[in-house]
Structure 1
Amino acid sequence: MEWYQNARQEEAVEKILPVSPDLPSGGQEKNLPPAGKSNRWGILIIVLVAVGSIAGAFLADGPEKIFASLTGADKRWLAAGAGCMLIYWALESGCLHLAARKAWPGQRLRTSVVTSMIGQFFNCVTPFASGGQPIQAYYMTRGGMPVGKASSVLLAKFIVYQTVLALYSAGVLIFEYRNFVENIDGFSKLALIGFIVNAAVVVVLFCVGFFPKITGGFFQSCLVILAKLRIVRDPKGTGAGIDREINSFHQGFTELRRERSVMAAMAVMTTFQLTAFFLVPYCVLMALGVQGLQVGDVVASAAFILMISSFVPLPGASGGAEGSFYVFFQMFFKASGSVSVAILLWRMFTFYLPIVVGVYFARHLSGLNPHSHSGKDSPDHPAG
């Protein structure tokens, strides 16, 4: 959680978007290129997986069937899929804006939209979607919002998203478990691993929020063991860093507990946001003419895919997302080759489209006003 501290925030940003060494820090604009060296490997992986997916589809079905499926797809349902992504982005921006306005009344909706879309891009091109939050924090602070406020906003959104996703997954698991066990080999293990990992993230967050000393002691004990195994070389420095992060998180969490109505509203918006995202594959399957679909089954499948593939350590869960989609959605197709076309369209909407749109919004990272706290000429406080 390096984005909670300003120094680490700048360090994380510079790893993703290197700052020109010719410009003095603290008083001049930073010249931010659209992508840094640390993202090149991520982009290369994305390209390789995309090429592999297309090649696999062509090998499975052949060019003629692929082109026939794509050209014969119902354009209205494809438009509906794009519409679901627009709704997803709108709710993403609205959720962020709700928290940002509460913390910083000068926040403009336009700034929240840009911040959200920048995060979409960097989440897609970094492992574990780890690049979005540092960039979002950087953009908000360079635009006028104090560092502490930006950290609280992103913390609120992160906690709400993880909690809603865990509860959503639990609900889906309860109502759809038997159906998937009967149709998917090894479903129990996949679902159990995915749910445990997601639930563990939420449990750790709340443990740090409510019991910082106990949680800190547990982490320090783990650190001692790792140091004895020579996995951690600097236990004192690492331990001090853990204490700082826990204290910072606890302070932000304490502030959030006072804003229950805002958190509840964000939870509702996040629930609808996830539902819109999970409806994209339904639109894709309908566009391809798949018959006998139940919306609940498709939404549940999409939820399981997100739950399982979220922890694939590659940009955009590349490879894991495609494999999970095949496992869960092949039961809707009579011929496995058709699944390949569905995978291509689904990833186009949910992964490659956010990258393309995010690149457009990422141009706002260049030429940001460096007066972080003056308010004048910042995105939230226009001149005049």
Structure 2
Amino acid sequence: MVLIGMGIFAYSLRNVALTQLLHDLVHINVWWLLVAIGCMVGYLLIEARIVQVFVNDRLSGFTFKDALRIPLIEQLFNGITPFSSGGQPAQLVAMIQTGVDGGRASSVLLMKFVVYQAMIVINFLIALAIGFQFLAAKLHYFALFVVFGFLIHLVVIVGLLMIMFWHSFTKRLVNLCLKPARWFVKPERYENWRITLDEKIDSFYHESVRIKSQWRLMLHVTLLTLGQLAIYYLIPYFIMLSLGYHHVNVLMVTALHILIVMVISLFPIPGGAGGAEFSFEALFASYVTTRSKLVLAMILWRVITYYLGLFAGMWAIALKPDKVSEEPRENHRILHRLRNKS
């Protein structure tokens, strides 16, 4: 992926004078660039905190170092697999390495995913209201990709909500949609698929019932996720400030970044390579009118939001995890009260 990225950067620089690029790089405002990097670091730290909140609700002794490994490993495997499909399994393995039971780890990751998807849809609706008219006026074809990406995320969150609130109906609907698969696979395989899907739906439903009763926990995680996404979406704005563009509309730039992230999820190439770079240049060309600065902004954005996560994930894999206490959180609280009484 690094080699592919270098090839894309080289292609983007084909019409840019190297001397001009170096001039723009030398005169960059380092402080605003550090703020942009800090936003990405903050994004990962907040996600680590979300993981820790979910796990510590059930078990004791899950350290922040262990929690930090999870989003970093997620960044790596999301970045090297098509449609970011490797992030969830990699997180599950990383949590099991810390001593968290596989069932508990799956539940934590599932609920984190639900909250994250819900906040993405809400952010996208706000971005659509702010930036879709600009997008449709400048790039008609791009608007279609944005709407299609939104529909995919919307279908995902609606499906999850249906499991949470209409469990039996959703099971029947999924089994009905699965029936055509019998025409193409052996009966044994079809039955295995049906049983596995039913088990996954039941597991998610039981976990959602437990979580729904803990509204304080969900509110806490929701607010953390909103903050996490907000600072991530602000990264292009701070990159523009570092390049000297101080009069850009922060709401419009943030909205356009949300739309870019939505479109990237449609590209099957790991990390949305090619599509991400093209989308950034196409949308921000109206703000960054100098070609060399536009390409430099794209490279900086890509390094901060993508390659930084790849290398941080490689470091996280090499980091030896602590072992979480197998003692359930409720037992830990009871023992703590007994010790205090004694």
Deviation track 1:210-235 (CA, whole Å, cap 9, x = no partner) reads: 2233222222222222333x378832
Q: How does 1:359-374 map to 2 (within 5 A)?
A: 359-364=314-319, 373=326
Cα distance in 2 for partners of 1:70, 1:57 equals 16
- Mind listing any 5+ residue stretches in structure 2 that lack a counterpart? 329-342
Conserved? CA contact 1:57–1:341, under 8 Å: no
Contact in 2 for aligned 1:91/1:270 (Cα 8 Å): yes
Q: CA–CA distance in 2 between the matches of 1:135 and 1:315?
A: 15
Q: CA deviation at 1:374?
A: 7.9
Q: In structure 2, which of residues 187, 190, 207 is the aligned counterpart of residue 252 of structure 1?
A: 207
Q: Residue in 2 aligned with 1:343?
A: 298
Q: Does 1:107 align with 2:41?
A: no
Q: 1:216 to 1:60 in 2, by over 3 A?
A: farther
After TM superposition, list the pairs within 5 Å mapping 1:1-384 onto structure 2.
Answer: 46-228=1-183, 230=184, 234-364=189-319, 373=326
Match of 2:261, as an amino acid?
L
Q: How much is the aligned-residue C-alpha RMSD, in angstroms?
A: 2.3
Alpha-carbon distance, 1:323 to partner: 1.9
Deviation, 1:347, is: 0.5
Q: Which has the higher helix share?
A: 2
Q: Taking CA–CA contacts closer than 8 Å with sequence separation of 6 or more, which of the two structures ends up with the larger relative contact order?
A: 2
1:226 and 1:336 map into 2 onto residues whose CA distance is 51
CA contact (8 A) 2:46 2:224 kept: yes
SS at match of 1:145: coil
Cα distance between partner residues in 2 of 1:361 and 1:325:
29
Please tell me whether the aligned partners of residues 176 and 297 of structure 1 are also in contact (alpha carbons under 8 angstroms): yes
Deviation at 1:336, TM superposition (A): 4.1
Aligned partners of 2:159 and 2:200: how far apart in 1? 13
SS at 1:292 equivalent: coil
Q: Identity over the aligned pairs, expressed in percent?
A: 27
Q: Give TM-score scaled by structure 1 length.
A: 0.79
CA gap of 1:343–1:186, structure 2 versus 1, over 3 A, is same
Hey, which bits of structure 1, 4+ residues long, moved more than 6 A? none
Secondary structure of the 2:57 match is helix
The number of aligned residues is: 327
* Separation in 1, partners of 2:284, 2:165: 40
Are the equivalent residues in 2 in contact too, given 1:140–1:150 (CA < 8 A)? yes
Instruction: Work out whether residues 92 and 109 of structure 2, in 8 Å CA contact, stay in contact via their aligned partners in 1.
Output: yes
CA distance in 1, matches of 2:6, 2:71: 28
Q: Deviations over 1:131-182 (max 9, x none)?
A: 2222222232232222222122111111100000001101111233323333
C-alpha spacing 1:374/1:241, structure 2 compared with 1 (3 Å): same
Deviations along 1:326-366, one digit per CA (max 9) or x if unpaired, are: 2211111224453222111101100111111221111136x
| Alignment gaps of 5+ in structure 1 | 1-45, 376-384
